[in-house]
Amino acid sequence: MAKTERKSSTAKLRIKSRLHVFRAERRMTQEELAGQIGVTRATIVAIEGEDYNPSLELAFKLARFFSTQIQEIFSVEEASK
C-alpha cells in the first residue's frame, strides 16, 4: 500500500493545457494574449504546445485574465513512459 502511494507521488506528471481553447473563445491571437499577460508570443506558443510549463505566477495571471480557475486551464495527467 505504502509502496503504491510512493510510486504515485514520484510518477512523472504531464501538464495539459487548454489555453488555446480559452484564447479561441475570446477570439484573441497569441500575440494579443502575450501582450496582455506580459510575456512573449513564443511563450504562449510553448504553453499551448505543452512544451513549457508556466510558473505558478504566470498560471495565476492567465487564470485571472480569463476569469477562471487554474485547473480549468491546466490539468495534470501521469506521463506515459
Partner 1 sequence: MKTANLDRIVSRIFLWGLPLVVVVAIGNSFINEDAIANQPPIVQTLHGLAGLVFGLWMAFALYLSARLVFSSDIRTEILPKLVSFKERDEREALLTGNATKKTFLTTLAILILLLCLSVFQVSFYQGPPEKAVNGKNKTITLGLGLGLMDDAVKSQKPVPSDVRKVFINYAGLPFSKTAVILFLIVWQVVSYNYSMRRLLQTGGKPE
Q: Least distance in Å: CB of 56 to partner 1? A: 10
76 in Cβ contact with 69 (< 8 Å) = no
Q: Dihedral through CA 64, CA 57, CA 71, CA 50, nearest 10?
A: 110
The grid coordinates listed for 79 are: 506521463
Task: CB nearer to partner 1: give 18 or 41.
Answer: 41
Q: Is there binding between residue 55 and partner 1 (CB under 8 A)?
A: yes
Is there binding between residue 63 and partner 1 (CB under 8 A)? Answer: no
Of 49, 60, 75, 76, which one interacts with partner 1 (CB under 8 A)?
A: 49
